[in-house]
Amino acid sequence: MDLTALIKRAESFLQRFYKNLYNHHRAIKPSISLNQAFEAAAIFDLETVTGLRNELQTKSKADQLRRLFGFIASGFIRRHLLPFDQKLARYYDQLSWPHTWAEHDALSPGQPLPTRPNNILLAELALLYEERWQQLNTLVTELGFDTPLGMYAFTTGLDPILLKHAAQAYLEQTASAYLQALASIEQPMADRWQLENYLRGETYRALFPAAELVPAMEDTLYHLGLDVTHQPNLALEVNQELSSRLSLAFPVRVPEEIYVCISPVAGIDAFENILGLGGMVMPRLLLSPKHDWLYRRLFDPALDAAYAELFTGLMATATWRNDILGSAAASDDLQAFCRLRQLYRLRLAAARVCFAVDRCLGRNNWATIFEHALGVKHPPSAQVIDMGHMRNAFDTWRGMQVGARFAGSLADTYGPTWYRHPDCGEALHNLFQSGPSRLEHLTALLSTH
């Protein structure tokens, strides 16, 4: 197998993929279908995946090849699941552009809450989702794995069962604090839909004005030594047409050409998303172009989640809100609300891991897992809230946990205003320029401090 040629094709595909997605987002020119993009790459086929897996048996740099294998195998699976995704994404996966180019294809730390489906639509979605699941298992078997768990373990070197145990342990450790915070809500939450809507924080919307959205991100990164207004490899665009509360990035070339699109709207969701996106983009902007392409381009998605959580967590820090938005945004009641949001976000990620493992093992105990984790009833319609997130459940959970630890480490070292400390900025620059390339490298680094 000609690995050099394979890597060049993969690089060419990703550049065209994100540039096409960005152009389509801006309505510059018509988009080819996603299926055509996969077909033109000529690498997302069973022969290539099988050949690459065989190479892994003999090569010494197995970590790099596993990263490439994971990318191509995932592309192979997605290409064959497009007929299902095209139908499902119209509802729950924020498909705002035709031909199955979904908003989750761009870098983004969050997705809006879908509309609650009626019983007829829910039945259609559930049937499609089940058919998609069966097809996913068939494709995984074609690739030589018993279940999606086996494929994930092969690609990452991690045991999903151990990830589930860690998620369960986290749920037990934080249960008391979370349930106490949930009980403090004046109006009891009837179900998941009501809790999700409550956590949008409409009561506090005026404290997070749209006019301060972009300045909040720029100011935070500026004091860490990154001036996004004078960053030659970054194009920052304010787009009023972007879906509410979403912030998106399109890494066409890393680190040379990255586009960020922001919709300036008010509210906690919008501020969390723009901070999280800053955490996902900053390492890419500062990464040395001398790094191996596999490290620069096939970014560990768990690292994305870690860096997003590092910056998103600032919203649960009263000192940051006071510095950026004024004393009114540092009140005790808002602090309690932001802390509840943070606990909910982390416990939700843990619940998705537990469900993903059980689902792969043939147990569909969705309502039990999520009701235990989130403390509210889960009617059948609530399952659409999690459908689109399950594809990254393991990596999101792993990353968010490390990101929260990372934030605590920076606060311990540089104080509660670490986001304004020049030494912290220098340390982050050094970290991002040199890697790490996998979440495990960042975890090891934190363990030494």
Distance of alpha carbon 383 from alpha carbon 122, whole angstroms:
9
pLDDT at 307: 95
Name residue 348's amino acid: L
pLDDT above 90: residue 24: no
Distance of alpha carbon 12 from alpha carbon 26, whole angstroms:
21
Contact by Cβ (8 Å): 44, 75? yes
pLDDT at 234: 95
- Give the confidence band of 88 by pLDDT, cuts at 50, 70, 90: confident
Q: Quick one: which of 49, 33, 43 has its CA closest to 139?
A: 49
Each residue's pLDDT tens digit, 283-308: 999 998 888 888 888 888 999 999 99
- Give the confidence band of 356 by pLDDT, cuts at 50, 70, 90: very high
Distance of alpha carbon 2 from alpha carbon 210, whole angstroms:
51
CA 232 from chain centre, in angstroms, equals 25
Name residue 183's amino acid: A
pLDDT above 80: residue 130: yes
Q: Quick one: which of 98, 110, 108 has its CA closest to 24?
A: 98
pLDDT at 314: 96
Contact by Cβ (8 Å): 311, 276? yes
Each residue's pLDDT tens digit, 158-212: 999 999 999 999 999 999 999 999 999 988 899 999 999 999 999 999 999 999 9
Contact by Cβ (8 Å): 155, 69? yes
Written as six digits, the tokens of 103 are 């908003």
Tell me if residue 281 falls in helix, strand or coil: helix
List C-alpha distances in Å: 374 to 160, 315, 349. 22, 21, 11
Each residue's pLDDT tens digit, 69-83: 999 999 999 999 988
Pick the more confident residue, 60 or 391.
Answer: 391
Cα atoms in the Cβ-side hemisphere of radius 13 Å centred on 14:
22
Residue 263 sits at the vertex; the CA angle it makes with 258 and 268, to the nearest 5 degrees, is 110
Partners of 261 in beta bridges:
237, 248
pTM: predicted TM-score of the whole model, two decimal places: 0.94
Contact by Cβ (8 Å): 151, 73? yes
Q: Quick count: other Cβ atoms within 10 Å of Cβ 239?
A: 16
- Rounded mean pLDDT of 131-135? 94
pLDDT at 320: 96
8-state DSSP, 336: H
pLDDT at 139: 97
257-262 and 247-253 strand pairing: antiparallel
**Mutual orientation of helices 268-286 and 213-222 as an angle, nearest 10°?**
40
Question: What is the average pLDDT score of the chain?
Answer: 89
Contact by Cβ (8 Å): 335, 317? no
The answer to which of 107-116, 184-193, 400-409 has the lowest mean pLDDT is 107-116
